[in-house]
Amino acid sequence: MAEDGAAYERLGTKRLTLVDVIAQSVGLIGPVFSAAFLIPLIAGASATGHGAGIATPFAVLLAAAGTFALGWIVAQYAKRVHAAGSLYDYVTMGLGQRAGTVAGWIYYGGTTVLASAIAVLVGWFLHDVILVGTFGVSGVLPVALWGLVYVAARFLVLYTGVELSTRTQLTLALVSAVVVLLFSVNVILNAPVNSLRAFNPAEAPNLTGLFFGVLYGVLIFVGFETAANLAEETANPKRSIPRAVLLSVAIVTAYYVIAAYAQVAGFGFDLKVLLDPEVAAAPLFALGSPAAAGGYGGSSDLVLKLLEIVVFLDVLAVGLGAATASTRGVFALARDRRIPGPLAAVNGRGQPVGSIVFVEAFSVLMILFAQYWEGLFALPGQHHFFAMFAWLSTYGGFVLMIVYALTALGALRGLGDHGNQAGVWVASLIGLAVSVGAIFGGVYQVTAPFDMVWKIALVWIVLGIVVTLAVRGRAPAHEVLDDLRG
């Protein structure tokens, strides 16, 4: 029986522009946050001890190439499907309805966890790093309450409308990115030595190190595809979404290469310094410290304080981007009745209030867990809120890689009628390779509590399969509503 299109919930008017959807992807990627904390992971500061070393900028370029292949696949699908929660539809087109539903279950479960991870981090970062550490004042409110304040503010932004969400992300990400970019250029200009060695693969400790550097490098691009989740609310999705996805990858690639090179050159191409635990924990802040402490911050700590503030701004943008993507995906699954229909409820302005309440309620739950369940995912010597953030964000990135792999694999069938079959095969094989490699990196030699990530992910996947088999649902919205397909 044909479905009645009038029975499907609809989001608000199509008003988003190319800039808005780029802001969504770049906002969730969080280039400033990644540059501040994750580049040493690519260099070798990981549980495996493997990394690209001095050749970290080269590893970033290789990871970007793999991500671009995935982005190309997403861009081709985005020309055909313009629905909210499009990642779920892409896998459906390639691997079938049940596989697509499980993929949606995995993916939007992951983005919801990522949104909660940032909510947990914000309270600790604002209290301990910004207020107490940067300004030397009392935390004013307890860590947990600051996290709840952030969730409440994020709820208001989401409830007000997606345009406010994307413009807020744009403002936060742009301000923070410009500051860190200018600082990185300053470091490069004043570095003790500059050399193209950073782009020579032979400078990696060995091929294994370069391999792991690329695997970890892919993680800093997580979120590049999330512009597609806003297709239903975009004025010209067939044109804007593909461009946004590919431009986002290009923009952050240039940014990461500069940031990675600045860290390698700033520490004098000395891998021991870059991988020193105190430096590797926050290399951007180490570079921003006063000159007397070996940094590039001049005679005072003003530069360091500024860097801490702008990194915090980027954290806020990442959390908003994750929540925005999650609400659209949960809405899409509920609209197709793959999960309870009330989660697809919208208000009079077309905002997905059902999914907004769900996503923010989960963030509140994780904050309460961080506050009262002290043994959950605890890390020795670390504040429990930071430990919870580290675990939740690792889980979110890991499960998104699973869906990237499914998207790449399904493209061979889903894009089987594409005019450029050679391009489809090349992009699919490269995308599948980097995704599976990143999944391997999330399992191989990981230590507690991160060794639980893949196990809990497996439980979540099995639960998703059970739900998919038990719930019949209805035809995907893009098959019923003409304006949601190209």
Summarize the confidence of residues 30-41 as an average pLDDT.
Answer: 94
Alpha helices in 267-376 (DSSP H): 271-274, 277-280, 283-288, 302-335, 353-372
3-state SS assignment for residue 445 = coil
- Residues ≥6 apart with Cβ < 8 Å to 50: 44, 205, 208, 209, 211, 212, 213
Rounded mean pLDDT, 384-405: 96
b/e for 73-102, b at 16 or more Cβ within 10 A?
Answer: bbbbbbebbbbbbbbbbbbbbbbebebbbb
**DSSP conformational letter for 195:** -
How far apart CA 399 and CA 112 sit, in angstroms, is 11
How crowded is the C-beta side of 129, counted as CA atoms within 13 Å?
22
339-358 mean pLDDT: 96
**pLDDT band, residue 468 (cuts 50/70/90):** very high
pLDDT tens for residues 61-85? 999 999 999 999 999 999 999 999 8
The candidate with the shortest Cα–Cα distance to 18, out of 348, 210, 245, is 245
CA distance 128 to 134: 9
> What pLDDT was estimated at residue 139?
77
Q: What is the mean pLDDT of the segment spanning 393-407?
A: 97
- In angstroms, the CA 153 to CA 142 distance is 17
The CATH code that applies to domain 5-484 is 1.20.1740.10
pLDDT score, position 287: 97
What pLDDT band is residue 4 in, cutting at 50, 70 and 90? low
Q: Is the peptide bond before 449 cis (omega within 30 degrees of 0)?
A: yes
pLDDT value of position 292:
87
What are 103's two structure tokens?
């993929």
Rounded mean pLDDT of the chain? 95
DSSP codes joined into one string, 316-339? HHHHHHHHHHHHHHHHHHHHTTSS
Q: Number of H helices and number of E strands within the chain?
A: 19, 0
- Evaluate if residue 329 carries a pLDDT over 50: yes
The per-residue pLDDT for range 412-431, each reduced to its tens digit, is 999 999 999 999 999 999 99
Residue 112: closest CA among 316, 317, 330, 315: 330
Q: How much is the pLDDT for 100?
A: 96
Q: What is the pLDDT of residues 267-306, one digit of tens each?
A: 999 999 999 999 999 999 999 999 988 899 998 999 999 9
Cα 263 to Cα 154: distance, rounded to the nearest angstrom = 33
Instruction: Say if residues 151 and 368 touch (Cβ distance below 8 Å).
Output: no
Going by pLDDT thresholds of 50, 70 and 90, the confidence category of residue 59 is very high
pLDDT of 90: 96
343, 318 Cβ separation under 8 angstroms: no
Global pTM reads: 0.95
Report the C-alpha gap between 206 and 313 in whole angstroms.
37
**Separation CA 48–CA 45 (nearest Å):** 8
At position 118, the amino acid (one-letter code) is I
**Average pLDDT value for residue range 23-52:** 93
- Reported as a pLDDT band with limits 50, 70 and 90, residue 1 is very low
Query: Which of 134-148, 308-322, 332-346, 353-367 bottoms out in mean pLDDT, i.e. has the lowest?
Result: 134-148
Place of tokens 């946050």: 33
Where are the chain's structural domains?
5-484
What number is the average pLDDT over the span 109-123? Answer: 98
pLDDT at residue 2 is higher than 60: no
Angle of CA points 160, 165, 170, to nearest 5°: 150
Burial class (CB in 10 A: 0-12, 13-18, 19+), 292: exposed
Q: What per-residue confidence (pLDDT) applies to 49?
A: 87
